[in-house]
Amino acid sequence: MLSWLAPLAALLLGLARSSTPPVLAATSTVNLEAEVGFAGRFQLGHPFPLEITLHNAGATTDGTVEVQVWKRGGAKGIDSYPVYHRKQVFLPAQTQKKVRFTIDPDFLSRPLSATLTTPTARARREIDLRAHFSTRPLVLLVSGAPAPLTLPLPQGFASPVVKVPLSELPADPRAYLGVWAAIFYEQPLRELSRAQVFALEEWLLWGGRLLAIAGLNEAVFDDANWARFLPVRVAGRHRIARPETLQKAYGPLPAGEVWAYGAAVVKGKPLLQEQRLTIAAEASRGQGKVVFLSLDIGRPPLARWAGLPKLFSELLGAPPEFRVTWAAAWDDNAFARLLSSRSFLPYYAPATSFAAWLLAYAAAVGLALGYGRKRGVGRRFLIGAWLAIVFCFSVAGYVYFDRGGKPLDGVLFEAVLLEPWSEGYAEAQANIALFSTRQRPYRVKLENGWSHLEMVSPVGAKESSPPLGIASDGASSELDIGVGEWSYKLFRVRAAVPLALSADARARGDRVELEIANHSGRSFAGCWFVVAGKAFFVGDVPARARIVRDFPRGDKAQSSRRGLGDISFDDPVRDFLFRHVFFSDQARPRDMGGGAVFFGWMQDGIRTARPADAKVSPVHHALFRASFSLPDEEEP
Amino acid sequence: MRALAHPVLREAAQVYLVEGKAWPAYLYFFLFLAAVQVLTLFLPLLDPGGWMGAAQLFKISSVVVLLAGVYFTLRLVNQEYVPWRFATLKRWLGDGLDPDSLLGAQLALVALWGGLFVVAALPLMSWAAAIARAGVGTLASVLLMIFGYFATYGVWGLVALNLWEVRVETRHIAVRLFLGVLFLVTALVYLPLNSVAFILSYLGGTDLGDPVSLFGRRIAPGAVHVFFHGLLFAGGVGLSRWVLARRAGG
């Protein structure tokens, strides 16, 4: 009976084989090579760049480059899962092309695989990562000097120093997450692309350290890109006659004239001064720092200076910590409770429409029966009419309920926690859920500057769901996520965002003064201030407003009957997020006991993810939270 | 109905369809299904998780169609509506119908009654599938499965009819007992044998249970389910054939 299955299976198998181009050997018209990290080095446990060089010895063609890496759930109880990074490429005839990815595998034991697929050929290469990793963060050296520069590193400095041409600096900030510092010596930045500048800026916000070292030519710093970074304005060279401060701090200088640039500090602070000349200055940028050194350490006499390693060690500081500590409780338990909130889902059960269709169907059948009786038509006609009504109502009702009404396939829910960094920047930790009413793949756009993507729970993933894919172009990326029917997937990302809101709290005896300066165009609603466990309602903070309020502290604070548990907002979803996600037992700020915390909901808040199609409804909530320790200050 | 050449088919169609004696069964079935669906959609609206009604609608509807459809199919097959209007087996066999022909007509009636229940449920099931975002393929496969259950369980209505033709109360008790035992015992003994569990696991994409080891081979729960129901159908047909042959011989 099933004899037709065998030829059908053979046909399908044949089609599948013919549609998959063979993996080609070195003699193929297309081939690929891969370079891992920065000159073959990367820091273990952090994202790193991967450069794929594509060779096309044949005719002009289009193709797809795909890199597969494996992520693990590990302690999160999620099985390991593959992540695919994809890019479309156009390959002219007889050319080679470079494609860059930023990848973040969790396994060294599993080689990563890179594949180039064109309509006529397929080339694949497996890359063993074990020969490339370092347990220490890298130091990048970008030198524009004609002579090679040897960095005066302190003894025992274990981090690999990698020389990188300016053009090969990544355009994706995540590629820098295994980098301690980027050192630029006598290097103009005019040739940097906008994406490269953006990547460096984002990395600085996350905690990177950029060290600019002067060389022979002051014109090096005379470009717009350097002006964005430098804490100083460079003008002229000056001879330091008696560098006493330098010698006192770092040891005797070798014989010869010591020159330094005139550096007027425009932002940040001077670190080292000699005879009113700023020798070193630094400026904070988010969690990171930009340091300027006005001495030419690449040429005599300073190149021979024994004090340089100590100076360099101070300028480099401690290696940054790029690992993220998630400040909100975001897991299946939290989301399952959120799902039971009516306000969460802007999806309605079409009960009224259903009842209307039911009545219409009954009316149609009734009319047909009535007509049949009145006209005395035969039973055969009635049965035919009933079957026709059944068929028409089945098809029309299916189409209506499937595509009419509310054509909603899913909800992209985002709960962002904003915590202030320095200089008008904030860290945004976005807790994201993609809820789906049907089994289908989704595409989610991640805003520029995201990092630390982490799948929290692949709940409901059926085997037929496509694995996680990342299509990235520079800093912007799109996620391809498959979600099952009436199921969801949880993930979270981190981003550094500009936020012109400063919050400060100062203890003044038995009072606490709270000062909020909102220079941004966004308002904040439902703001509260909690001091020593007692909650005070602050109200709304409008856009471009400054609010200064006094609150009682200590025994006087007992006048407020409200604690953290009594705080409520008008929105049940916000109530839930406040209690169970942002201020749950494991997510409360550390200073809640003796310190204070200010928080409020940002209206039209910052988003890190957006749905790529109209059948997904975005739901967004963003809470700004600033916590303060309150050391006593004297009364002014 | 002249197109129906077989006298058994013609008689059943005349009594149940033309005279409309079976229509109440289809009406009750439809009303019950509609009521359950409306409640499934309306009641959760009183609760915060209102969308859950839409999510579960197709699963609930499938189970209702299965249970109610099997019950009413068994009642129709078992000639529980106006039983005095049907000619006896003795008469059919005495009129020269051989047992195989009679059994064929009876099986065709099982398919007809079951098929009409599927058709009656079609509009409501298709709307439920659309609301619950189940695809057309899922809708078609579930309706096909349910029709299979109607046929498999319906033949045991034939067994009861042929065994206790004149003992109407015995027949009534027998089919109800059969249904209860089938749904309850299979759920208690080995869940993959249960048709409700099978449909829910199919729609939910969940595992039905552990494979069973039989003669050193591990058999998947789905295969066990299909094999069990195949056996049930064949057993019902075989028993009916045996009873009819005995009556023809006696």
Q: What is the mean pLDDT of residues B222-246?
A: 92
From CA A394, how far away is CA A161, in angstroms rounded?
70
Give tens-digit pLDDT for A520-572. 888 999 999 988 778 889 999 999 999 999 888 766 555 566 777 788 888 88
Mean predicted lDDT score pLDDT of chain A: 83
Q: CB atoms < 10 A from the CB of B84, how many?
A: 6
DSSP per position, B146-185: HHHHHHHHHHHHHHHHHHSSS-HHHHHHHHHHHHHHHHHH
The shortest CB-CB distance from B123 to any of A348, A393, A402 is to A393
Give yes or no for a cis peptide into A301 (omega within 30° of 0): yes
- Give the model's pLDDT for residue A462: 46
Q: What is the mean pLDDT of residues A130-135?
A: 91
Q: What is the mean pLDDT of residues B7-11?
A: 87
Least confident of A185-199, A491-505, B197-211: B197-211
- Give the model's pLDDT for residue A70: 87
- Give the model's pLDDT for residue A475: 55
- Give the model's pLDDT for residue B13: 87
Q: What is the mean pLDDT of residues A302-323?
A: 88
Size of interface A-B (CB pairs under 8 A): 93
Least confident of A77-86, A167-176, A242-251, A573-582: A77-86
Is pLDDT of A380 > 80?
A: no
Residue B120: partners with Cβ closer than 8 Å, 6 or more residues away: A390, B26, B29, B30
Which of B131, B138, B142, B202 to mutate to probe the A interface, most A CBs <10 Å?
B131
Is pLDDT of A67 > 80?
A: yes
CB-based contact A358 B51, cutoff 8 Å = no
- Give the model's pLDDT for residue A7: 40
* Closest C-alpha to A322, from A447, A130, A175, A184: A175
The shortest CB-CB distance from A394 to any of B53, B55, B126 is to B126
From CA A486, how far away is CA A210, in angstroms rounded?
47
- Give the model's pLDDT for residue A17: 39
Give tens-digit pLDDT for B152-204. 999 999 999 888 887 888 888 988 998 888 889 888 888 889 999 999 988 87
From CA A128, how far away is CA A131, in angstroms rounded?
7
CB-based contact B51 A347, cutoff 8 Å = yes
The shortest CB-CB distance from B130 to any of A345, A355, A402 is to A402
- Give the model's pLDDT for residue B47: 56
Give yes or no for a contact between A575 and A397, defined as CB atoms under 8 angstroms apart. Answer: no
CA-nearest residue to A462 within chain B is B205
User: If DSSP codes are grouped into helix, strand and coil, which group holds residue B199?
Assistant: helix
- Give the model's pLDDT for residue B206: 75
Helices (H), chain B: 7-12, 23-42, 51-77, 89-94, 99-131, 136-163, 168-189, 195-204, 221-249
Q: What is the mean pLDDT of residues B4-25?
A: 85
Give yes or no for a contact between A534 and A555, defined as CB atoms under 8 angstroms apart. Answer: no
Residues facing residue A33 across a β-bridge: A53
- Any idea what DSSP says for residue A582? I
Q: Is A345 on the interface with B (CB under 8 A)?
A: yes
- Give the model's pLDDT for residue A476: 67
CB-based contact B54 A347, cutoff 8 Å = yes
- Give the model's pLDDT for residue A26: 42
From CA A385, how far away is CA A44, in angstroms rounded?
72
CB-based contact A486 B55, cutoff 8 Å = yes
Confidence of residue A82 (pLDDT cuts 50, 70, 90): confident
CB-based contact B133 A348, cutoff 8 Å = no
- Give the model's pLDDT for residue A4: 41
Give tens-digit pLDDT for A33-54. 999 999 999 999 899 999 999 9
B197 phi/psi in degrees, rounded to 5 = -60, -40
What single letter denotes the amino acid at residue A617? S
CA-nearest residue to B121 within chain A is A390
Give tens-digit pLDDT for B38-96. 888 887 665 555 566 777 889 999 999 999 999 999 999 988 888 888 888 888 888 77
Confidence of residue A9 (pLDDT cuts 50, 70, 90): very low
HEC secondary structure over A113-181: EEEEECCCCEEEEEECHHHCEECCCEEEEEECCCCCCCCCCCCCCCCCEEECCHHHCCCCHHHHCCEEE
Burial of B147 (0-12, 13-18, 19+ CB in 10 A): middle
- For chain B, positions 121-140, list CB contacts with chain A under 8 A: 122-124, 126-127, 129-136, 139
CB-based contact B130 A409, cutoff 8 Å = no
The CA-based angle A567-A570-A576, given to 5 degrees, is 60
Q: Is A348 on the interface with B (CB under 8 A)?
A: yes
CB-based contact B131 A350, cutoff 8 Å = yes
Q: Which residues of A147-173 are buried (b: 16+ CB within 10 A; e: fewer)?
A: eebebbbeeebebbbbebebebbbbbb
Q: CB atoms < 10 A from the CB of A352, how many?
A: 12
- For chain B, positions 11-70, list CB contacts with chain A under 8 A: 17-18, 34, 37-38, 41-42, 44-45, 47-51, 53-55, 57
- Any idea what DSSP says for residue A470? E
Give tens-digit pLDDT for B55-66. 788 999 999 999
* Least Cα separation, residue A486 to chain B (angstroms): 6
From CA A88, how far away is CA A271, in angstroms rounded?
47
Q: Is A372 on the interface with B (CB under 8 A)?
A: no
- Give the model's pLDDT for residue A344: 64
CB-based contact B136 A398, cutoff 8 Å = yes
CA-nearest residue to B56 within chain A is A486
- Give the model's pLDDT for residue A369: 84
In this prediction, what percent of chain A has a pLDDT beyond 70? 86
Give yes or no for a contact between B92 and B84, defined as CB atoms under 8 angstroms apart. Answer: no
- Give the model's pLDDT for residue A108: 85
Q: CB atoms < 10 A from the CB of B132, how many?
A: 25
Confidence of residue A450 (pLDDT cuts 50, 70, 90): confident
